[in-house]
Structure 1
Amino acid sequence: MFAKLHRKSLSLSLGLLLTGLSAGAWAANAVPAVDAGVASANQTVQVTLVLKLRNQAALEDYIKQTVTPGSPNYQQFLTTSQFAAQYGATADAIARVQSFLQQQGLSSQVLPSHLAIRTSGTLSQFGRLFQTSVHDYVSRQDGHHFHKPASSLQIPSAIADVVAAASGLSSERAYRPHHVSASAFTALSSQSPKVSALSATSDGSSGNPTASGVPGQYTVGDVANFYNINPLYKRGVVGKGSTIAIVTLSNFYPSDATAYWSDIGLATKPNRITQVHVDGGGAIDGGSGETSIDVEQSGGVAPYANIIVYDAPNAGNGYVDAFAQAVSDNIADSISTSWGLPEIFNFAALNVAGASNTDTSDAGDLRAFHEIFLEAAVQGQSLFAASGDSGAYDTVRDLGAGTAVGDYTAPLTVDSPASDPYITAAGGTTTPYSYAFGTGPTESISRESVWGWDYIQNYFDTYIGPNVINLFSSGGGGGVSVYWHKPFYQVFTDGIRRSESHQSLVYNDPSAGPTTLLQLPSRFTGRNVPDVSLNADPETGYIFVSTFDGGLLAGEGGTSFVAPQLNGVTALLRQSTGHRIGLWNPQIYAIQNIFGYGRFSAFNSVRAGDNWFYYGAPRYNQGAGIGSLNVANLDAFLRAGF
């Protein structure tokens, strides 16, 4: 079936891989950077003004009704124009903002949803507009050059009653793609790993002809076997009439996806991929493989769905604009993304000069994403985001926190935008397999478990020696938001937790000593993530095709695979039910809370494993959420109106 398979990890620096760090292009700067002075006044940038919603409480109530069987507005989703008329900014308010921008010499473009205005101008113009100056900075961590406001933005009083947030004036942070390569075990052993699958599926079904059955070389066919998707295929449910959207921050080669589907022998709808380059589009770069994964997985699970790829630059307002465009267009029935950053990187304590280290107000894009996600929910668009690949400690992959080369502590943190309550957070599991390395004995994972590489860490500590390698904290992202409060759909869910006490991000300055950059709220009644999980461990991972990364690769995983798989599942459910599914979360939590686990459940409880802090359990847990899917059963619940 496959040719020229190789594990991408073997081409990486072993030290870099095992600490969980990535190349500097994805690094974030939590340490106060060196101020290099006022940025070039004539530098042109784009800024997006996210406008305040009207009647937000009524909007949230309407969203709840659209996914509540028996409600008079059940499945009565709005069009973009209806959203604009009922909940977007008024025409008078928009005209006032446009007039104000014009007076400042700034252009403006209003989205049809009346939710955002895109504007372009120079740094000096925006500095005057927001009563700040924009400076150049150099990261003390990796030498990265960027610009950002030297003080907090002040929305002008003339439009402060209309504008909720401004995105794009900082180029400091770049979002990270959430996929991971299998560890370079062969570099530590005289013989290749002995790996074999113990079970074809989680529920006994099997037989998808595109499946490989080989851990590390799994395909979308194996996903169908694991999670009982095949009964839908047998009914002719393949995503016909559905449209999938991918929001991403790198361009890609569409031929990667068609090559992947052809290589595994999957028949698909021809000419199904459309690209929309937002703000000029993303680059062909180190994130291109991520986009390939997203298209291959979502389009492989739903082989006859249409696919729209919204790609934008990985800087400034690119991510916000890509989501805003995908939602305002309102063509896609479901949307997924596999990029993110620690939620805490949005806090004022890490962004605003002079802010208290306890200031967890949003100085980033949390509010901007939230309003966009509310619009998507009321339009019936299902949203999915990868929950991250750093277990319960989301900053580790970005800062090297808690590792041998790290200068930071590692507080318990979650990823954004997955932590938003109006998006479904996609977590990760390890499916059953056996493994052995070198002269060590064969050990096995006998049932689906929360993905966390401490099981491999323990094996190495025992049979190779303690402290020889460090795999902390690779695993499925999960935990408790310290910004978003517990949403209504988690109120009656057994296993929901508050944030832990005594969590701080501390920079261990070699010359000045420890500096506390952020003290996280203790016992915060926050939104718990993830919501639902599928196989994501690279050791029981997948193949994918990426021209940028060298072709056909094996031993790949991460929650980046799960988010698009759920996107594809939604396309199947869209065809099967005959309507959009809408926001998953209230529906899946209700089904689990009411019907529990068992033979006819829509979910498989994930009771084993951990993500370095949170453990699997026969209930909701912060490693795997409410569990993994039984798609055929979920489809039956949805068609019956549960």
Structure 2
Amino acid sequence: MFAKLQRKSLPLSLGLLLAGLSTGALAANATPAVDAGAAPANQTIQVTLVLKLRNQAALEDYIKQTVTPGSAHFQQFLTTSQFAQQYGATSDAIARVQSYLQKQGLSSEVLPSNLAIRATGTAAQVGALFQTSIHNYVSRQSGRRFHKPASAPQIPSAIADVVDAASGLSNERTYRPHHLTAPSFASLNHPPAKADALSATTTGSSGNPTASGVPGSYTVGDVANFYDINPLYKRGVLGKGATVAIVTLSNFYPSDATTYWSDIGLATKPNRIKQVHVDGGGAIDDGSGETSIDVEQSGGVAPDANIIVYDAPNAGNGYVDAFAQAVSDNIADSISTSWGSPEIFNFAALNVDGASDTDTSDAGDLRAFHDIFLEAAVQGQSLFAASGDSGAYDTVRDLGAGTDVGDYTAPLTVDSPASDPYITAAGGTTLPYSYAFGTGPTKSIKQESVWGWDYIQNYFDTYIGPNVVDLFSTGGGGGVSVYWHTPFYQVFTNGIRVSEKNQSLVYNDPSAGPTTLLKLPSRFAGRNVPDIALNADPETGYIFVSTYDGGLNSGEGGTSFVAPQLNGITALLRQSTGHRIGLWNPQVYAIQNVFGYGRFSAFNSVRAGDNWFYDGAPRYNQGAGIGSLDVSNLDAFLRSGF
């Protein structure tokens, strides 16, 4: 463990083999973009105002009751209109906000939930409204153009008492899809991996006929074999009557999903995919494969479920709007997303000029997401988010990547929106398999382990040579939030931790020297992530189909596979139990805390491996949460009312 503690303080090389560059606010704050001057006065700006909830404490108590057996409101989920009437903004408050916006020249639209107002105006109008000036900028790294306030915006005092957050004033920040491809390690021989006896499966009567049994080419059939889903299929539980939703930031080709299901021999409900393009929709771009993965996995696990894909632009208020639309529509029983960004990228220290380097107040979308997730929970919609693919150091993938601007340190951080207490964070494991690289010997993973590629790093350093590759810190995201406090369902969970000491994000400017951008709170009693983990290591990964990425792809992984798999599993549970499942977290933690691990447990403890800092353990751990699933046993608990 001492070596891991030392590693966290080292500079993060920008030449990492697997890292990619984000145009997020942090990189721009550290290496300023070129200010192209005030945006044209008539430039269109879209802003979403998320309104403050009424009676939030009562709302949180009601949510807890909906998922607590024996409570007065157990499984009594609300409709959107009921949520609006009881917890959304009042009609008077909404009328006041809309009247104020209209006087400033902005048009507006209210969601049926009374939770959010989408406003559109010119740069001049929006700047005046928020007491700032909207400027255009050009990223020095990518050349991408974006707009953002030139000074800290202020919510107008006339409506500040009813507005919780404003999303979209800046469209600088983008989110990252959480999937990875197994690297070829240059010209080194990498023989096909093979499944160990512990993970090898058979098809036919005892297994799933759509499974491949080949690490790196696994299908949803293999997922069914690994996590005991087949007994539900044999009972005819295929997701009939359930609807899953995908919230994503890229458009895709729906034929990718139907091709995938057809190619693996999986019969599915026809004409099941519906697309909803929010704010004009996302583009067909580098993220399109992510959307294909999400649809293929969720719809493959639950082949009779309906699927709605909410796609939005990857900038500004797009992500918030897509979630708000999916929740306000309230058609989907469960919703997953595989996109995220480091939680700390929201903090004032990294976004507001002149803010203290210890200011971790929210200057981003954390509050906006939280309010929307509370609505989803009380409506019984289960939410899932990928926890990230950068191990315990979430900023590494976003800040590392082929530029010459210098190095950042790598503090222990977690991903958002997975860090929110009202979404289930999907972590990653490595399944048992055997591997060899170059002329090195064959090694094996003997049990399902926390996914972290330090096991490959150690192999290379020992058998191929040091400094050949740098895989730090690829693995399943996990750790401790430094914004959200420990939620009630984790208070009595063995293994929950507080944030570590001496964690800072420092930019080592090649000309000016080190600059501390953010000092993270130490010993903060925060929400721990992930909650549940399934196989995500690309070395024991999957195939998927993406037209944008050339068709059939193998050796794919990342926690972006896990979130939609949990989404599909929820559709099965929805059919099996006859009702929505609601927020998973209080239920699964209660089951694990009371019944533990064993033959009839709903969870498999993940005791081995690590995500570069947090180790697997026979309890909750920040690499795999409370463990991987036994879906059949979980179904039995839920049907019994546990």
TM range (shorter): over 0.9
1:222/1:406 Cα in 2 relative to 1: closer, same or farther (>3 Å)? farther
Equivalent position of 1:31 in the other structure: 30
Equivalent position of 2:484 in the other structure: 484
* Equivalent-residue separation in structure 1 for 2:629 and 2:592 (angstroms): 11
Cα pair 1:89 1:114 within 8 Å, conserved: yes
* Equivalent-residue separation in structure 1 for 2:230 and 2:419 (angstroms): 31
Equivalent position of 2:375 in the other structure: 375
Query: 2:19 pairs with 5, 18, 21, which one?
Result: 21
Cα pair 2:15 2:401 within 8 Å, conserved: no
Cα pair 1:402 1:409 within 8 Å, conserved: no
Equivalent position of 2:530 in the other structure: 530
Letter in 2 for 1:22: G
* Equivalent-residue separation in structure 2 for 1:591 and 1:78 (angstroms): 24
- 2:212 match: secondary structure: coil
Instruction: Render the CA deviation track for 1:503-544: whole Å, top value 9, x for unaligned.
Output: 001000011000000000000000000000000000000000
* Equivalent-residue separation in structure 2 for 1:546 and 1:572 (angstroms): 25
Letter in 2 for 1:613: F
* Equivalent-residue separation in structure 2 for 1:591 and 1:626 (angstroms): 10
1:505/1:16 Cα in 2 relative to 1: closer, same or farther (>3 Å)? closer
User: Over aligned residue pairs, what C-alpha RMSD do you find?
Assistant: 1.8
Instruction: Render the CA deviation track for 1:169-220: whole Å, top value 9, x for unaligned.
Output: 10111100000000113x242x332410013649999510000000000000
- 2:409 match: secondary structure: coil
- 1:636 match: secondary structure: helix
Overall identity of the aligned pairs, in %: 84
Which residues of 2 match residues 178-577 of structure 1 at below 5 A? 178-185=178-185, 187-189=186-188, 191-199=189-197, 201=199, 206-400=206-400, 407-577=407-577
- 2:435 match: secondary structure: strand
Cα pair 1:17 1:183 within 8 Å, conserved: no
* Equivalent-residue separation in structure 1 for 2:81 and 2:227 (angstroms): 37
Superposition deviation, residue 147 in structure 1: 1.6
Equivalent position of 1:7 in the other structure: none
Instruction: Render the CA deviation track for 1:434-458: whole Å, top value 9, x for unaligned.
Output: 0011211100001000000000000
- 2:30 match: secondary structure: coil
Superposition deviation, residue 137 in structure 1: 2.5
Instruction: Render the CA deviation track for 1:259-282: whole Å, top value 9, x for unaligned.
Output: 000000000000000000000000
Equivalent position of 2:4 in the other structure: none
Superposition deviation, residue 237 in structure 1: 0.2
* Equivalent-residue separation in structure 1 for 2:446 and 2:15 (angstroms): 27
Equivalent position of 1:110 in the other structure: 110
* Equivalent-residue separation in structure 1 for 2:138 and 2:324 (angstroms): 30
Cα pair 1:224 1:301 within 8 Å, conserved: yes
Equivalent position of 2:127 in the other structure: 127
1:456/1:473 Cα in 2 relative to 1: closer, same or farther (>3 Å)? same
* Equivalent-residue separation in structure 2 for 1:421 and 1:202 (angstroms): 35
Cα pair 2:201 2:213 within 8 Å, conserved: no
* Equivalent-residue separation in structure 2 for 1:19 and 1:397 (angstroms): 10
Superposition deviation, residue 19 in structure 1: 2.7
Letter in 2 for 1:282: G
- 1:616 match: secondary structure: coil
- 2:468 match: secondary structure: coil
1:56/1:26 Cα in 2 relative to 1: closer, same or farther (>3 Å)? closer
Equivalent position of 1:12 in the other structure: none
Cα pair 1:45 1:122 within 8 Å, conserved: yes
Equivalent position of 2:51 in the other structure: 51
Q: TM-score, normalised by structure 2?
A: 0.95
Equivalent position of 2:638 in the other structure: 638
Instruction: Render the CA deviation track for 1:544-564: whole Å, top value 9, x for unaligned.
Output: 000000000000000000000
Superposition deviation, residue 404 in structure 1: 11
Superposition deviation, residue 81 in structure 1: 0.2
1:175 is the counterpart of 2:144: no
Cα pair 2:340 2:415 within 8 Å, conserved: yes
Equivalent position of 2:10 in the other structure: none
Cα pair 1:401 1:407 within 8 Å, conserved: no
- 2:107 match: secondary structure: coil
Superposition deviation, residue 144 in structure 1: 3.5
Letter in 1 for 2:28: N
1:570/1:309 Cα in 2 relative to 1: closer, same or farther (>3 Å)? same
- 1:408 match: secondary structure: strand
Cα pair 1:283 1:313 within 8 Å, conserved: yes
- 2:193 match: secondary structure: strand
* Equivalent-residue separation in structure 2 for 1:490 and 1:285 (angstroms): 38
Cα pair 1:202 1:227 within 8 Å, conserved: no
Letter in 2 for 1:221: G
Equivalent position of 2:3 in the other structure: none
1:401/1:407 Cα in 2 relative to 1: closer, same or farther (>3 Å)? farther
- 2:407 match: secondary structure: coil
Letter in 1 for 2:347: F
Cα pair 1:200 1:226 within 8 Å, conserved: no
Instruction: Render the CA deviation track for 1:464-483: whole Å, top value 9, x for unaligned.
Output: 10111101110000000000
Which residues of 2 match residues 60-79 of structure 1 at below 5 A? 60-79=60-79
Cα pair 2:199 2:433 within 8 Å, conserved: no
Equivalent position of 2:90 in the other structure: 90
* Equivalent-residue separation in structure 1 for 2:503 and 2:294 (angstroms): 33
1:509/1:103 Cα in 2 relative to 1: closer, same or farther (>3 Å)? same
* Equivalent-residue separation in structure 2 for 1:463 and 1:402 (angstroms): 27
Instruction: Render the CA deviation track for 1:41-65: whole Å, top value 9, x for unaligned.
Output: 2110211000000000000000000
- 1:632 match: secondary structure: helix
* Equivalent-residue separation in structure 1 for 2:346 and 2:296 (angstroms): 31
* Equivalent-residue separation in structure 2 for 1:578 and 1:540 (angstroms): 34
* Equivalent-residue separation in structure 2 for 1:143 and 1:72 (angstroms): 56
Equivalences, count: 626
1:447/1:204 Cα in 2 relative to 1: closer, same or farther (>3 Å)? farther
Superposition deviation, residue 626 in structure 1: 0.3
* Equivalent-residue separation in structure 1 for 2:81 and 2:409 (angstroms): 47
Equivalent position of 2:8 in the other structure: none
* Equivalent-residue separation in structure 1 for 2:487 and 2:229 (angstroms): 29
* Equivalent-residue separation in structure 2 for 1:239 and 1:440 (angstroms): 45
1:545/1:166 Cα in 2 relative to 1: closer, same or farther (>3 Å)? same
Q: Which runs of 5+ in 2 are unaligned?
A: 1-12
* Equivalent-residue separation in structure 2 for 1:430 and 1:47 (angstroms): 41
Letter in 2 for 1:427: G
Letter in 2 for 1:42: N
Letter in 2 for 1:342: P
* Equivalent-residue separation in structure 1 for 2:276 and 2:118 (angstroms): 17
Letter in 2 for 1:397: R
Q: Which runs of 5+ in 1 are unaligned?
A: 1-14
* Equivalent-residue separation in structure 1 for 2:487 and 2:271 (angstroms): 40
* Equivalent-residue separation in structure 1 for 2:63 and 2:455 (angstroms): 41
Q: TM-score, normalised by structure 1?
A: 0.95
1:293/1:543 Cα in 2 relative to 1: closer, same or farther (>3 Å)? same
Cα pair 1:200 1:213 within 8 Å, conserved: no
* Equivalent-residue separation in structure 2 for 1:462 and 1:67 (angstroms): 49
1:523/1:340 Cα in 2 relative to 1: closer, same or farther (>3 Å)? same
Cα pair 1:400 1:406 within 8 Å, conserved: no
1:198/1:66 Cα in 2 relative to 1: closer, same or farther (>3 Å)? same
Superposition deviation, residue 403 in structure 1: 11
Superposition deviation, residue 22 in structure 1: 2.2
